[in-house]
Amino acid sequence: MNQTELKLYNPVVVSRGKFKHIRTLGPKSEKMIELKCPTCDKIYDRMFKSMANTGNFECQHCTVVRSHKVDRPEIGTKYDRLVLIQHIKEDMSMGKFRCDCGTEKDIKYASVTRGLTKSCGCLAKEYNQTQKDDSNRKEASMARNTRLAFKWRLDVLARYEFTCQKCNVPGGKLQTHHILPFNTYVEDRFKVDNGIVLCQQCHTNYHARYREYEVNQDTLNTYLIENKSNKE
């Protein structure tokens, strides 16, 4: 049995009302034959000459995915709040992920591996919930203008010798950044360990890249170890 027959789902086609075996078809035959995709096991119809000329038995979807070199992560790989628990056989570009909150959701690998999707959606919901509390926002705004906040800023600047920790340029328009968000982590607001010095440009770039609910030590570390030769 040759390779072609191994991939065939139905080796018989109908030609002019008569059954004809696949072996009798020429390489330029436009008869539609049934194939079984070796990757996803999908049964699909394809013109015989297309299969004969390319030697490719995959369905169109699997061919496109392979051509774009979509790599499947290993089962158990964790991205932020998501862990991959199952590959989706029918779609090579997606997998089933379980969020830390317990929710399971089908998500495209590219979205997760590129950091575009970090949870099932619960992360954004938590952030939105905190933003709905007007009293918290007003209180945080008042807290930023206290003597304690002013002293914290001076202590952080002195700790890092008035130097941006991203571009390593001393002086200039320096700002003190809260490693854990000011509005959310009330108990850590004025801890010197929760502060770092960034110049205005580097500080702006960090917050442009990460939304408030993504502000933490991990994202800061990732940002700081990137190319420091020039300000972004």
Please answer whether residues 162 and 175 qualify as being in contact, where contact means their C-beta atoms are separated by less than 8 angstroms.
no
pTM score: 0.45
Q: Residue 151: pLDDT band by 50, 70, 90 thresholds?
A: very high
Taking the C-alpha atoms of residue 173 and residue 165, their distance in angstroms, rounded to an integer, is 13
Dist CA 20 CA 222 (whole Å)? 62
Q: What is the pLDDT of residues 176-211, one digit of tens each?
A: 999 998 887 888 989 999 999 999 999 999 988 887
Residue 182's alpha-carbon distances to 63, 143, 153, 179, 195, in angstroms, are 49, 9, 13, 8, 10
State the Cα–Cα distance between residues 182 and 142, nearest whole angstrom: 12
Predicted local distance difference test score (pLDDT) of residue 177: 95
What is the CATH architecture assignment of 134-225? Answer: Orthogonal Bundle (1.10)
3-state secondary structure 5-41: HHHEEECEEEECCEEEEHHHCCCCCCCEEEEECCCCC
The 10s digit of each residue's pLDDT in 214-227 is 888 988 998 998 76
Q: Which tens digit of pLDDT belongs to each residue from 49-58? A: 776 666 677 7
Q: How far apart are CA 162 and CA 199, in angstroms?
A: 9
User: Which sequence spans correspond to the domains of the chain?
Assistant: 3-67, 78-120, 134-225
